[in-house]
Amino acid sequence: MNAPATTELPVVVIGAGPAGLAAAAHLIDQGIEPLVLEAGPTAGAAVREWSHVRLFSTWDELTDPAAEKLLAPTGWTKPDATTYLSGGDWAELYLQPLADVLGDHVRVGATVTGVSRTGRDRIVDADRESQPFVVHFTTTDGEERLFARAVIDASGTWTTPSPAGASGLPALGENAAADRITYRVPDLKDPAIRARYAGKRTAVIGSGASAFTALAYLADLAKSDDGAGTKGVWILRRGISGSTFGGGEADQLPARGALGLAAKAAVDEGHADAVTGFRTEAIERDGEGRLVLAGEDGRRLDPVDEVIVLTGFRPDLSFLSEIRLGLDERLQAPTELAPLIDPNQHSCGTVYPHGHRELSHPEPGVYLVGMKSYGRAPTFLAMTGYEQVRSVAAAIAGDLESADRVELTLPETGVCGGASLFDDPNAGQADGGGCCAPAPALVQIGVGTPAATVTEEAPAGGCCGS
């Protein structure tokens, strides 16, 4: 079958999450037909997998203007803009209604397996840019393909969590111990999952918002009637400093500050021990089947029953192997975007909105947006994704004046690490402060063998990510 003329083709959007659905809304606003391919069984499938976790962003920061425009004729009403929501709320009250309005523009159960130029692999130059894209995907009925004028990859990073191994590779024995390891914040309100951790000793590896959440959840379990004996072991690759727990009461995002304080309380109250400067090299089993973490420095920790690995995420680039991408060698983010978001150089408050130019690649017409655009950087904010897709849709429509215009003002403090715990909607707004604690300080905590208390200067940028 010959490909039709490029101008007659839809724009394929990969992923029906917040950024992908917003991209579709903006394309429609530009008079361009979108087709969203979602691997999961429903829109917002990844968000639904952390439906039990609350965000520290409010409703006002989590809906897209073009999406609201589509929803308005249906009678959809935006929830109170100042309230906080869970992942489940986001999916049910916003993402699903938006997908319903988009109708046939969204196909679920469609897993993209490859993207290329029609009749051209990545090495062929001849007449390349005039050829439409071809997208291969699978459904329950088998393999399919379609042609596209442009491709917007908003598939996120949820399916590719980083491992426990400090080298970026799985620790020796990590895969073999999969029955006792999870890479997500567990839902301890689920009776079966709760029973898995109640009364058990659990290692939490990571230093970002997700690790804070897990520590706070385990502490709550330890204090409950059915959780006696529950103990967390917090594994940090660096030391403890004043910035370890975030900005606390000085944080301009009060929900994020509350999360860090909850994690600190878990340690201070003895519900979790901290093991610092520990880089996991191997995960072994003892004679009773429990897990023993071994570090690169030769330390071996006391056995644990479970391990929660929360060391961040990384993009899946496998289905883009025939596309010419320009990616930063460290972050795996678009080359022009990477210097703006590099956590080695920037704090949460210095990342500013950006658009199609920073998201472009050597292959014209391909854009990575949303969480995936940030590669391995941990500081993504939903509002940033909405501005990205607004700019990209305008660029695809040929309206470069609009595409180059920044139409978003972000909070000065930004957001570190995405979804997190926040259960008190009445928490007050603190004055002043920034992304992390204003100055390094020694945090005195009680730790178990062979943990230690270490003072460490906050890294440049001081962001609270993992």
Distance, in Å, from the CA atom of 235 to the CA atom of 140, rounded to the nearest integer, reads 41
Region for residue 206 given its phi and psi (left: phi exceeds 0; alpha: psi -120 to 50; beta: otherwise):
left
CA distance 235 to 276: 6
Name the burial class of residue 453, with classes exposed (0-12), middle (13-18) and buried (19+) by CB atoms within 10 angstroms of its CB.
middle
User: Measured between alpha carbons, how far apart are the two ends of the chain, in Å?
Assistant: 48
Q: What is the pTM of this model?
A: 0.85
Burial 403-435 (b: 16+ CB within 10 A, else e): beeeebebeebbbbbbbbbbeeeeeeebeebbb
Per-residue pLDDT, 82: 87
Whose tokens are 């979108």? That residue is 34
Contact 314, 376 (CB under 8 A): yes
CA dist 337 and 188 (Å) reads: 37
CA dist list (Å): 28 to 101, 208, 230, 278, 396: 12, 37, 51, 50, 12
Query: What pLDDT does residue 424 have?
Result: 36
pLDDT score for 413: 43
**Helix/strand/coil for 194:** helix
Query: In sequence order, which ranges of 376-431 are alpha helices (DSSP H)?
Result: 382-396, 400-403
Give yes or no for a contact between 415 and 381, defined as CB atoms under 8 angstroms apart: yes
Task: Write out pLDDT tens, residues 80-122.
Answer: 988 989 999 999 999 999 999 999 999 999 999 999 999 999 9
Those residues of the chain that have pLDDT short of 70 are 1-5, 240-257, 346-351, 409-466
Percentage of the chain lying above the pLDDT 90 cut: 71
- Residue recorded with tokens 């849709």: 393
- The angle subtended at Cα 232 by Cα 179 and Cα 200, nearest 5°, is 55
Residue 179 has what pLDDT? 97
How many CA atoms are closer than 13 Å to the CA of 8, on its beta-carbon side?
A: 4
- Characterize 133-157 residue by residue with b for buried, 16 or more Cβ atoms within 10 angstroms of its Cβ, and e for exposed: bbbbbeeeeeeeebbbbbbbbbbbb
Q: 418 with 17: CB under 8 angstroms?
A: no
Q: For 355-461, where are the E strands, in sequence order?
A: 366-368
- Burial class of residue 401, CB neighbours in 10 A (0-12, 13-18, 19+): exposed
pLDDT in tens, 379-412: 788 999 999 999 999 999 999 999 999 877 665 4
Alpha-carbon gap, residue 45 to 43, rounded angstroms = 5
Single out the residue of 135, 127, 108 nearest to residue 320, CA to CA. Answer: 135
Burial track 196-213 (b if 16+ CB lie within 10 A, e otherwise): bbbebbbbbbbbbbbbbb
What residues form DSSP beta bridges with 58? 84
Contact in structure between 356 and 366 (CB atoms under 8 Å): no
